[in-house]
Structure 1
Amino acid sequence: MTDLAFDNAPVGLIVLEQRIIRRCNLQFARIFGDTVAALTDLPVFDLYPSPDDFARIGETLQRIDPAQDYYSDERIMRRRTGELFWCRVRGQSVTPDQPFHSGVWSFADLSDDRPVVSLTPRERDVAILTCRGLSAKEIGKQLGLSYRTIETHRAHLLTKFEARKLPELVAKLSGMPF
């Protein structure tokens, strides 16, 4: 029964060991545009839009408090065809003292609600932190940048997403109607 639930879950599921996909379900294969067999034993690196994104997420995962239940974010990933798309990722390590040793992760495709707009890695960071409700000063402190630099990145985001004000930008970034 466990295999039936895992294989046919309505959300993409994977089991990772050292950031290599050891097992995935049918929905994960559909989301990433390949077969279960082709994705099994694939380094998850191959599904990131860039080496920088892979490294940044890896660094973030290593800083997570082991007592925290699970990790969750929304990020851009890459299908096997090369197409970029927004994805909600949730998961946890089953070996908290070694975050990459073994983990279980879920993936939900958000592309119907959130189109991909070409962003620099820094714009992506600012967009994510803006959606979390952080002020320009708080984002600047977290990223080691001045709040004026953050405001410049936000101005670029407003233009790219054709938003007039910050609340409209947040709505567009989060896939909410405005």
Structure 2
Amino acid sequence: MNRRSDYYIGRREFVAGVAGVLGALITILVGLPVIGYLIAPALRTGGGAGWVSLVPLSALQPGIPTPCSFSRLKQTGWKRMQMTRAVYALLRNSGDVIVLSDICTHLSCKVRWSSEQGVFVCPCHDGIFDHEGAVLSGPPPRPLDRFETKVENGQLFIYVED
């Protein structure tokens, strides 16, 4: 038995194989960018980070956390929506300002300011935070998150990341 005849590929089969491989490569090279272009909006999120105007400094009372809210345009895939978020701004007696998140660091429940008790209360698992966001009792593992702040022309701004 001749070994060459066992592995012999005719000219026709060879050209068909090369054409098939080239066709597959061209399909992949053209198809992947097209697919990426079509699904890219679904992978896009956020509206970018930046400074957001919160409240005039004159609206804050020293030593008392003031509830404030801000809105940002959020994009998830092809959907754009206006998202509103609440925070607490505290004008310290020293004159500087801190802005605290209203989300508990334990399981992301919304905290509320209790003016009677002078603390932030998380109703889900009885987390208690002081007026500057430090944990007083309960399961929260860390203080309330703070936003970076700046004051320009009497207006309070916070830096928001998506």
TM range (shorter): under 0.3
Larger radius of gyration: 2
More strand by share: 2
More helix by share: 1
Q: Which has the higher contact order (CA 8 A, sep 6+)?
A: 2
- With the length of structure 1 as denominator, give the TM-score of the two structures: 0.22
